[in-house]
Amino acid sequence: MFAGSPRSFYSMTKHLKQAERLRKIIESFPKVTVTVLGDLVADEFVYGEISRVSREAPVLILKHRERTVLPGGGANAVNNLADLGVNVLPVGAIGDDEPGRLLLKFFRHKRIPVSGVLKDKSYTTVTKTRILAGMTHNTRQQVVRVDREPENPPNRHLTRELFLAAREYLRASDALLVSDYGYGSASPAIVNALRQSGRRRVVNVPLILDSRYRLLEYAGATAATPNEPEVEAALGVRVGQDWEKLAEAGHQVMERMKLQSLLITRGRDGMVAFDQKQAPVDIPIFGSDQVADVTGAGDTVIAAFSAALAAGATTEEAAQLANYAGGIVVMKRGTATVSREELLRAIQQSPPSTRLH
């Protein structure tokens, strides 16, 4: 017989039901199709072993050990969706260069369709090169990052092709994920044109947005997943640890963008989910707050959030799954992904939780 209080029994039963519901959502991911319109980035990692200090300048000389190139930015969101078992359709621009070819090779290896990945000789694949250094058997630390970016956004012809590819994919999609890093493949103009294209199927598809610099410029988004500094920058406010200010900022973004859902990520302070029909839900971080690497964590969060919404989850359910995914991925080094199996294990280990205010 249960020896605890009725309240404890009710709470345990509620958590078990929530966990079972989340498991069913995850298991339905293979039935979901998501189009990703995004800035496709190549994340390059160059690893070196500290050899000595240079005589030419007070800098370390590294003995090159290895190099890896992984999908970053919008391409990382694509990769995360694929590893969650979702059918993902990427749309974005790359250059006719080695990083672009490596991204295509990576997608093909995972059987991700690439007809919407448009290669253009006038464009440069966005490449972020991280140099990591360390001694033998020690953890390597990032010492510098070098970014290679296109001098200009995609030209008018390429922009038109991106729009057409996204519109075609959306006919067979359950959601549109927009990953805007400011390089032009996922601009407000393209997204707004998609929403106004007159096709009922396109208009009714949920649009989940991640925009680093122009959050408030998008019309017709269903949901957004900014981090707290992005919200502060968009509204010109300072939140800090003030719950009332955070709640007010979230409601402002919801109202100005006419969103149905909003997920604000807060690093080690977890996430807050906003929904039109209920009070904000404060979700503590899953796992340890001693993170290994936050590279690409936002891409993982929006991938899990979008997959869940596309599968019919509520805002809170999608936020809980995004929180699990974010907590798992920041414990991995480099640009990483989370699998369906890892999500299921996390839910089994720790039922979903919230903080009261």
Q: Burial letters for 223-262: b for 16+ Cβ neighbours within 10 Å, e otherwise?
A: bbbbbbebbbebbeeebeeeeeebbebbeebbeebebbbb
Query: What is the distance between the alpha carbons of residues 187 and 199, in angstroms, rounded to a whole number?
Result: 20
| Helices vs. strands in the chain: H and E counts, helices first | 11, 13
Residue type at 335 in one-letter notation: T
336: its two tokens: 């990483």
Answer yes or no: are the C-beta atoms of 59 and 131 closer than 8 Å.
Answer: no
- Active-site residue, selected from the candidate residues 39, 174, 210, 299: 299
**DSSP 8-class letter at 66:** E
Task: Select from 84, 110, 23 the least CA-distant residue to 329.
Answer: 84
Task: Select from 234, 356, 215, 222 the least CA-distant residue to 276.
Answer: 222
For the chain, how big is the Rg over CA atoms in Å?
21
How far the first Cα of the chain sits from its last, in Å, is: 33
Residue type at 25 in one-letter notation: I
Phi, psi (5° rounding) for residue 5?
-75, 160
Active site includes 299?
yes
Catalytically active residues, by annotation: 299
